A and B are shown apart, each in its own frame.
Chain A
């Protein structure tokens, strides 16, 4: 089990708050990058890396670790913030996001930084890679769990559904996918750009197990991830699991919440200051 495991909800909420602060601080000097998705996913990343997943930041290549594949690479800031907070690398690197020579590439690059399992950015490819990892684990009778974090928008890519078919065919029960169902994409609301509902019905029809949760309710997230891990680590040949996590894009920063305009842009200095003030207030409330 992870050496950095946090068990109380308030500790986890404080860590998620740290990660949101890191995201804002990282995006400001970068002057480009995505704000809404990373903030919305901060609770799930916290629960996964600081509670449920089995991994060791001191041994990033340890073979027994859970594989955490980020498919929608554009939410890299939340991955970097989480890995930095977990101790995979020096947090001083946060300031270098998207800068020349930095291992914090605009989209994650495997090998550039400890803890990054795959290179990602082009959408719809992560679930396929996670399937490959899950197949390898089964062939080698290994017990770790393969997690794949996906976005709702990337379900518009046909390849995602090719992977959904394959995972169901091979009953990759050691695979857990988590969908960031935040209902926004760059050009607008998902249901306007390309209607995706019902995601749960679609996955069930494709012979997956489906769980739906509020992705910003820490207690609910932790319970769902723990249950998913227990199921996936059982070694049973069983349907893969999709956790559809409804999240609020921009969560924690009032003027970014649910506004698709914040999908693909960073805050300016004034907006960052306002965001950080809100996060400080939220922190005080968690502590109280």
Chain B
């Protein structure tokens, strides 16, 4: 898998994942004249202000009303528009779940929406603003696709793939500047795991910011003689069962890593697949059924056990369960 050279060098370029989404919207808007973008009073934060500037006539500012925004998006999509909307993940889909369920998912509409500032790394804003349940509540909806990109480049690819896909897509985005370690030629296909590193002792299945943490963990584990595969499972739904089962068989144990509650999203999905298809010990790295608190994003990632050190520990536990 093609990744940046010198992955762990201090000078690695860092860009916010949300920027990839915002830039892609402008590009898609140039080609697709039916693209309409909506925001709920957070256009700069969620990076839709670039689209607003480029295509003001196709931008709808909904004000602080996430529920209304989701239903307005549905109305536009029913008229043939490709609709993208964005707000903070805690509010959208946190606050408009019913509108997403009935107006968008039930009708299988072409509405693509991002929950920005997701995960613990949003940091100082504290628990109310840390979306840690968003993927779980979207994953249970029929017709819904759930994507959690690992860096700015993957976020752009995810937005473009979402625009091409029929039906609703939820894309979760982080705020912090994080390493851009994938490249323009790193593949991206919805529902297909990217194997970033091969390995035979454990498979680390990650999404979002923890993917880079998993790469760091794999490097450290190699020094201990542990061969860890790193799987970028950017699509949490529909999940890539085939690759998961293949690596579970080969490695005999699995660790999941996500910036989300361990229940209901990636960790839950992997356990569901493996318990049905290939029972395998799994250790889940993520938020351990708790609320967060204020702090620096990276500090919180460490405190709540979602950084590379936590992944390494989890790997050793998982190997012990074989």
Q: Which residues of A contact B (CB under 8 A)?
A: 109-111, 117-122, 125, 128-137, 139-140, 158-159, 162-163, 165-166, 169-170
Docked CA distance A117–B109 (Å): 13
Determine chain B's interface SS by DSSP, over half rule: helix
Hey, which chain A residues are within 8 Å of B103, CB to CB?
118-119, 125, 128-129
A selection of 14 A-B contacts at a CB cut-off of 8 Å is A109-B106, A110-B107, A119-B106, A125-B67, A128-B103, A130-B75, A131-B71, A132-B74, A132-B76, A159-B67, A159-B71, A159-B99, A162-B62, A166-B63
Hey, which chain A residues are within 8 Å of B36, CB to CB?
135-136, 139
Chain B, 91-128, contact with A by CB distance < 8 Å: what is the 0/1 string? 00000001100110011000000000000000000000
Determine chain A's interface SS by DSSP, over half rule: helix
Binding stretch for chain A, among B78-86, B157-165, B206-214: B78-86
Docked CA distance A13–B264 (Å): 55
Assess A131 versus B98: contact at CB under 8 Å? Given A109-B106, A139-B58, A162-B65: no
Assess A125 versus B99: contact at CB under 8 Å? Given A130-B75, A133-B75: yes
Of B58, B78, B102, B107, which contacts A132 at CB under 8 A?
B78
Hey, which chain A residues are within 8 Å of B67, CB to CB?
125, 128, 158-159, 162
Tally of A-B Cβ pairs under 8 angstroms: 99
Assess A136 versus B79: contact at CB under 8 Å? Given A111-B107, A129-B71, A131-B72: yes
User: Which residue of chain B lies nearest to A164 when distances are taken between CB atoms in the complex?
Assistant: B68
B150 is an interface residue with CB less than 8 A from chain A:
no
User: Which residue of chain A lies nearest to B64 when distances are taken between CB atoms in the complex?
Assistant: A162
Hey, which chain A residues are within 8 Å of B75, CB to CB?
118, 128-136
Residues of B39-70 whose CB lies within 8 A of A: 57-58, 60, 62-63, 65, 67-68, 70
Hey, which chain B residues are within 8 Å of A132, CB to CB?
71-79
Let me know if B68 and A117 touch, CB within 8 A.
Answer: no
Known: A140-B79, A163-B72. 4 other contacts (CB 8 A): A128-B103, A132-B76, A133-B75, A166-B62
